[in-house]
Amino acid sequence: MEASADDSAQRASLVVAEAVQAAILDAALDPIILMDARGRVRDFNPAAERVFGYARAAVLGRDMAALIVPEHLREAHRRGLARLVATGVSTVLGRRIELTALRATGEEFPIELAISAVPGHEGSLFAGYVRDLSEQRRAEARQRFLLEASREIASTLDFEDTLRRVARLLVPTLCDGCGVYLSEDGRTARRVAVANVDPTKEAIARRLHERHLLSSDEPYGVARVLRTGRAELMPEMTDELIAAVAVDAEQLEVLRALGVRSSMIVPLRVRDRVVGALSLVTDASGRVFGPADLAIAEEFALRTAAAVDNSLLYREAQEAVARAAEEARRREALIGALERSNADLDGFAYVASHDLKAPLRGIASLAEWIEEDLGAQIPDGVRGHLGMLRGRVARLEGLIEGILAYSRAGRTGRAVVEVDVGALLAETVELLAPPPTATVTIEPGMPVLRTARAPLQQVFMNLIGNALKHAAGPATAVRVSAREADGFWEFSVTDNGPGIAPAFHERIWGMFQTLKPRDEVEGTGIGLSVVRKTVTAMGGRAWVESADGVGSCFRFTWPAVPPAEP
C-alpha cells in the first residue's frame, strides 16, 4: 500500500510538472524547442510556430536540424548535439550564440540560441531557447544606412544633385523604385530624380509625368502629400488602388507596367514648409512596406530635407555675395559719378566766385566814380538811383554767396573735433554783432560734442541771423536752448518776431523763398535752405513752430555721436 501511494504521488507530481512545462511553453514570447538526444522535436511552442512558420503537429518527431537549420550548417549542428549527449559538455551549453536559422519559406534569418538539458530527464531531453534577431538586424542596418546616407547627401551643396543622390541611395536598400519630387511654387511638383533596380523599369518610370498639378481633389499620391504634408503608406497596391492613384490613363498604364506591389510617400520639409516628396515602391522583390519602413523613410526624409535646406542656404548666400558684388560695383560707379559731380560743383563755385562777382564789383565801382565825378552837380534823383544800383549789386553778390553756401552745404568742413557748443554760440553772436537794442540769450546746459564744427556754426549763424533780421520792434529778443533727444541733441532758436503762418512752415525752407518783398527786408531766401540741407546731411532734421504774431521757434536735431562719413 505504501509503495502504491508513493507511485501515485510521483505520477501526480509528473502530471503537474508537465502541466507547468506546457504552460511555460505556451506563454513564452520567444521560441522554445524541446528535442531528444537524437535531435528529434518533442515540443514546439506557439512562438516557434510564428517565427519558423511550421505547425506544431507537423514537426513533432522530425529532425530539428532539417527543419530550422540551413543545409550547410546541419552537420555542425548534429555533431554538437552528439557531443552534448555523449559527454554532457557543449560549446553552446549555458551560453548564448548567434547563428543563422531557416524558416519554412526557405528564408534564412539571424537568431540567438541557448541550449540546456531539461532536469529530470537524465540527458535525454534538451531545450533550445531561440530569439529572432531579424528586426534587431534590420534596425542596425537601417541605422547604418541612415549614417552612410547622411554622409553621402551632405557631401554636395547642389540641392538638385543632393536629390538625385537620394534616389540612388534608397534603391535597393529601402525600395525597388524611387521618385523624388520638388515643388517650388506650391502649385506644381517637378520630378527631379528617378531610380529602379531594373534599368528597364527605370526607363518606364521616366514616362511618368515630370510635373504634377497640386489639385485639391486628388485623394492619393504625391500631390496629396505635398498639399497636406502628411506621409502616405499603402502596404498592398491593388489594381483598384493603382487606378485611384493614377492621374490619367497614361500614368495608369505606366504604374501597371511597373508592377507596383507596395508604396509609401513621405514629405520633405524645409523650415516648416513642404518643398518636395519621396515616392518609394516595391515591385519584383515582393516586399511589403510596414510602419517600420515608413518610420525609416520619414527619418531619411528629415535628413534629406536638412541637406536640401543647407544647399538652399548656401545658394542664397552665394546669391547674396553676388548681389553685394552687383551692388559694390554700382556704389563704386555712383561714388565716381558723385566725385565728378562734386568736381563740377567746385568748378561752378570757382566760376561763380570769380567770374560773376568780378563784374558786379566793377558795376559798384563805376557807380561810385560817377558820384565822385559829378559831385554836388548830381541831381538828387540820380543820386538815389545810383544808391539803388549799389544796393542791387550788393543783393546780387549776397545771392551768389548764398548759392555757393547751398552748393557746399553738407559736404565741406566735416572734420570731427571737440566742440564746446556754448563757446561756439558766443563766438557766433559776436560775429553777427547784434544791434544794442537786441539781446541774444544762450541758456545753460549746452553740450560738448565731438562733431564737425563748421557746419554746426553755419546753421547757428543762419538761424540766429535770421531771427535778428526779422524780429519786430526795438526790443529784439532771441533765445537759444538745447536738450538731449534719443541719441541727438535738439537745439532751438526762438525769437519774438512777427511769427509765420502754418501755411508757410514748409515753404520757407525752399530756395529763394521770403515772406516779404526783398526791398522790404535784406536777404536772399537761401539761408534756411542751407540750414535744412546741412542738418539733413548730418542725419538730423529741421523744422519750425510758429504762428502769426507769436514769434518763431526754429528747431533742429544734431547727432550726439558723429555719423559715418558718407
Point out the least confidently predicted range of 39-48, 74-83, 127-136, 206-215.
Answer: 206-215
Residue 429 neighbours by CB under 8 Å, 6+ apart = 440, 442, 464
Q: What is the pLDDT of residue 5?
A: 58
Residue 106 neighbours by CB under 8 Å, 6+ apart = none
Q: Residue 34 pairs with which residues in a beta bridge? A: 43, 127
Q: What is the pLDDT of residue 320?
A: 84
Tell which wins on pLDDT, 101 or 15: 101
Write the pLDDT tens digit of every residue in 45-93. Answer: 999 999 999 999 999 999 988 898 898 888 887 887 777 767 665 444 4
Q: What is the mean pLDDT of the chain?
A: 80
Q: What's domain 410-559's architecture?
A: 2-Layer Sandwich (3.30)
Cβ proximity of 162 and 301 under 8 Å? no
Provide the whole-model pTM: 0.46
Residue 52 corresponds to which cell in the numbers above? 519558423
The angle that helices 380-408 and 357-374 make with each other, rounded to 10 degrees, is: 160
- Name the burial class of residue 245, with classes exposed (0-12), middle (13-18) and buried (19+) by CB atoms within 10 angstroms of its CB: buried
Band (pLDDT 50/70/90 cuts) for residue 482 is very high
Give mean pLDDT, residues 244-255: 80
Give mean pLDDT, residues 251-259: 84
Write the pLDDT tens digit of every residue in 488-531. Answer: 999 999 999 888 888 888 888 765 555 554 545 555 567 788 88
Cβ proximity of 252 and 290 under 8 Å? no
Supply φ then ψ for residue 503, to 5 degrees: -60, -20
Fold adopted by 2-132: Beta-Lactamase (3.30.450)
Cβ proximity of 100 and 73 under 8 Å? yes
Residue 150, pLDDT > 90, answer: no
Residue 220, pLDDT > 90, answer: no
**SS3 label, residue 516:** coil
Q: What is the pLDDT of residue 294?
A: 92
- Name the burial class of residue 479, with classes exposed (0-12), middle (13-18) and buried (19+) by CB atoms within 10 angstroms of its CB: middle
Residue 138, pLDDT > 90, answer: no
Q: What is the pLDDT of residue 232?
A: 93
DSSP at 551: -
CATH class for domain 138-316?
Answer: alpha beta
Alpha helices by DSSP H, 216-290: 222-228, 239-245, 249-258
Angle at 57 between CA 56 and CA 59, to 5 degrees: 70
Q: What is the pLDDT of residue 55?
A: 94
What residue ranges do the domains of the chain occupy? 2-132, 138-316, 410-559
Residue 280, pLDDT > 90, answer: yes
Residue 270, pLDDT > 80, answer: yes
Q: Same topology for domains 2-132 and 138-316, yes or no?
A: yes
Band (pLDDT 50/70/90 cuts) for residue 337 is confident
Give one DSSP letter per residue of 30-83, joined into a string: S-EEEEETTSBEEEE-HHHHHHH---HHHHTTSBHHHHHS-GGGHHHHHHHHHH
Q: What is the pLDDT of residue 566?
A: 43
Q: Residue 442 pairs with which residues in a beta bridge? A: 480
Q: Residue 489 pairs with which residues in a beta bridge? A: 484, 558
Write the pLDDT tens digit of every residue in 290-311. Answer: 998 899 899 888 888 887 788 7
Q: What type of residue is 123?
A: G
Q: What is the pLDDT of residue 393?
A: 66
Q: What type of residue is 67?
A: L
- Measured between alpha carbons, how far apart are the two ends of the chain, in Å? 122
Residue 446, pLDDT > 90, answer: yes
Write the pLDDT tens digit of every residue in 226-249. Answer: 888 899 999 998 888 888 877 778
Mode of pairing for the β-strands spanning 32-36 and 542-546 = unpaired
Give mean pLDDT, residues 130-150: 82
Angle at 457 between CA 452 and CA 460, to 5 degrees: 135
Alpha helices by DSSP H, 375-416: 380-408
Give mean pLDDT, residues 249-259: 84
Residue 139 neighbours by CB under 8 Å, 6+ apart = none
Tell which wins on pLDDT, 443 or 153: 443
Write the pLDDT tens digit of every residue in 393-416. Answer: 666 665 566 556 656 655 555 678
Q: What type of residue is 142?
A: R
**SS3 label, residue 90:** coil
